[in-house]
Amino acid sequence: MAVIIDGKAVAAELRDDIRKEVFALREKTGKAPGLAVVLVGENPASQVYVRMKGKGCEEVGIASYQHLLHAETSQEALLSLINKLNAAPDVNGILVQLPLPAHINESAIINAINPRKDVDGFHPVNVGKVVIGDEDCFSPCTPYGCQVLINRHVKDLKGKHLVVVGRSNIVGKPLANMMVQKNKMANCVVTVCHTAAPDIAYYTRQADVLVVAAGRPDTVRGDMVKEGAVVIDVGVNRVADPADPSKTKLVGDVNFDEVSKVASAITPVPGGVGPLTITMLLANTLKAFKLQNGL
């Protein structure tokens, strides 16, 4: 049976390190990192994420500035707020919670954020820097969390075959670019496969490290995984609970029961990649503070 990769424990350890560094920097500079989170509308899931981000900031000593706007807020008004946050010296990171209402162009909003404050890692400047391996940038939080978990369970990644199932701009593409770089946290041979592949299993069976971010339950079954592979399941899907059809439960993109019998290590859902996502946002905000203050 596979070792269960405890994302909660790794996140707690990293947050403790972040908290210690934040307080040391406060002693040294008299200032603390600040994160502005902007929510437009009342999407219930987004509201939960914003509260979790505020709680994470409080936990590590990062100042949290939440801007809750009504759903009818115009694109012009949102751009005006972003311009103010770009200029605010106490705001080191800016995150606009997605998705936005249909009348607002997401690309226009992301592009308006100062790349040095883009702690979500979605601005084209940061995307480009990830591609070329420039460390003076912000990696998107979910793939960054995947990278951390992978490094905890594979001590030498050099030449390992990493297969990513999924090609989204949020996980698949950035992770592939991050893991192909020539550095100690990467240096993999990387394959990206997706729905256009006639036989995804042909690729997944070759993986030393398999990351599944397809957005569909049971995308990967036990017979699709090489013996001893490390499996990172990014998916979060709500399905009917077989034990009680009147209820639902969260599952990933991987059939956990089958794959855990083949893999050497695997992330559960929930409790795997999820706890790392907000933790890496906090790490990016700390990094932004240091970059902006020449530290």
Choose the catalytic residue: 120, 208, 233, 253: 120
Domains of the chain: 30-114 (3.40.50.10860), 141-274 (3.40.50.720)
In the residue annotation, 261 being an active-site residue is answered as: no
d(CA 118, CA 126): 8
What proportion of the chain, given as a percentage, has pLDDT over 90?
A: 92
User: In the prediction, which pLDDT does 245 show?
Assistant: 82
d(CA 63, CA 85): 14
Residue 87: its H or E element: helix 75-87
Cβ contacts of residue 46 below 8 Å, gap of 6+? 39, 97, 98, 99
Choose the catalytic residue: 97, 117, 118, 287: 97
Does the pTM of the predicted model rise above 0.85? yes
Q: For 4-17, what is each residue's pLDDT tens digit?
A: 999 999 999 999 99
In the residue annotation, 117 being an active-site residue is answered as: no
Q: What is the mean pLDDT of the chain?
A: 96
- The answer on pLDDT for 294 being more than 90 is yes
In the residue annotation, 97 being an active-site residue is answered as: yes
**Cα atoms in the Cβ-side hemisphere of radius 13 Å centred on 258:** 14
Strands of 93-96's sheet in order across: 63-69, 34-40, 93-96
User: In the prediction, which pLDDT does 158 show?
Assistant: 97
Q: For 175-221, what is each residue's pLDDT tens digit?
A: 999 999 999 999 999 999 998 999 999 999 999 999 999 999 999 99
Q: Name the residue type at position 268.
A: P
Choose the catalytic residue: 53, 129, 160, 287: 53
- Token pair, residue 5, equals 């990769």
Q: For 134-175, what is each residue's pLDDT tens digit?
A: 999 999 999 999 999 999 999 899 999 999 999 999 999 999
